[in-house]
Amino acid sequence: MPDQSIPHARTPDAPTAEPVSGTSGISRRALLGTAGATGLVLGAAGGAVGYASAPAEATPLTSVGAGRVMFHGKHQPGITDGLQARGHLVAFDLAAGAGRKEAAALLRRWSTTAERLMAGEATPHGDTDVARDAGPSSLTITFGFGYSFFARTGLEKQRPGALDPLPDFSSDHLDRSRSDGDLWVQIGANDALVAFHALRAIQKDAGSAARVRWQMNGFNRSPGATAHPMTARNLMGQLDGTRNPKPADPDFDQRIFVPASGEPGWMAHGSYAVVRRIRMLLDDWEKLSLAAQERVIGRRKADGAPLSGGDETTPMDLEKTDAHGDYVVPLTAHARITRPDENGGAAMLRRPFSYHDGVDTDGTPDAGLLFICWQADPLRGFVPVQRKLDRGDALSKYIRHEASGLFAVPGGAAEGEYVGQRLLEG
């Protein structure tokens, strides 16, 4: 779990949550009176929500419900957007006999559904009304292709070299049935019912073309639960992600997105997602003293500041020693090992969810992190950092990697396009 953070403030380079608008007609929910008053400010996005022809008795959505992310754009949604309160990760395998034609029809259906749901509208057919009373709630739906997809569709020549299977790591205890997959979908929203509604719609749209291979459900802190925006905490109680690259960084796009001139051409403005289910061995972790936990991470638990001093954003002093001549930030500290300047500049954008799936038969919690990281090339992002973690990360004693996947996530769909169209119809 590299020591990097998700940016909280929107920047001009990041997709912004926008108010629900009437540009494509009044949504079903607006007509039902679940949205429509003017003057509602959308948090950091700062947009006013309003319907020119909304019924006078309409009740305004809260800022959480009104947040909207656009489906069409240079990049797919769900990559640079802020952490959401609820998430679902689901992988599909194409059905026997399904190929390129069926995959194209499926991506077309999925894209239509995603565009409507992200706008706060009903699904095109047979909406379940699960999210009837809610707005878009910053819903994002993101689509990717696994290594096996290309052989199934006869597109091996279009498979990116960066999608080659990840190497084995010493921390791996992988369940292959919950790893990989032909297709991958990431769903996130700030309302649990909105996220579930999208999940069911995507699963129903798969029809006879694809079947679910695995599904994982996660969560984060709800928006507005803290006095001010702050780095998220994980289930170990640590601020998780302090040194994440930010869209305002001059080299952000270079590190996270495939360039317009990149190969293959259909991946222009896309990114690669590494997905890892990381179990936290919480019973062992919680037996450690506060000081011992902080030495494992290399940062103070209370505020995320490096043990060398300062606050969360203070650069870590790797050379600082204590009265005994020992490094204040131990050589095996997680935050020291994952620093980009300690890994040849390797960096990735982390956008995880926590998970808790009950307890094992022995009472051990099945809980941890659905680790998702984004990079222009996993061989220069995730792989070198994970290899170094394998060689001496103090945190490795308290976590276990139980599932893994790598997916090529193409750039965003333009108006009138569906996600992956340049691959499937190129």
Catalytic site residues?
A: 240
Burial of 238 (0-12, 13-18, 19+ CB in 10 A): buried
- Which residues, 6+ apart, have CB-to-CB distance to 417 below 8 Å? 72, 111
Closest CA to 110 of 85, 144, 82, 146: 144
**Pair of tokens at residue 132:** 């009837």
In sequence order, which ranges of 138-286 are alpha helices (DSSP H)? 147-152, 192-206, 252-256, 282-285
Residues in the chain: 426
Give the Å distances, CA to CA, from 282 to 169, 392, 404. Answer: 22, 20, 21
Residue 192: other Cβ atoms inside 10 A:
18
Question: Phi/psi at 27 (nearest 5 deg)?
Answer: -70, 160
Amino acid at 172: D
Show the beta-strand stretches assigned E in 19-80.
Answer: 40-41, 48-49, 68-69
How far are the Cα atoms of 29, 191, 246 from residue 133, in angstroms, in the given order? 7, 11, 34
Please answer whether residues 2 and 350 qualify as being in contact, where contact means their C-beta atoms are separated by less than 8 angstroms. yes
| Residue 111: strand, helix, or coil | helix
Longest dimension (CA), the chain: 72
CA distance 233 to 221: 8
Q: Which amino acid, one-letter code, is at 91? A: A
With 0-12 / 13-18 / 19 or more C-beta atoms within 10 angstroms meaning exposed / middle / buried, residue 356 is middle
Half-sphere exposure of 15 (CA within 13 A, CB side): 24
Amino acid letter for position 75: H
Please check whether residue 242 is in contact with residue 5, taking contact to mean a CB–CB distance below 8 angstroms: yes
First to last CA, the chain: 37
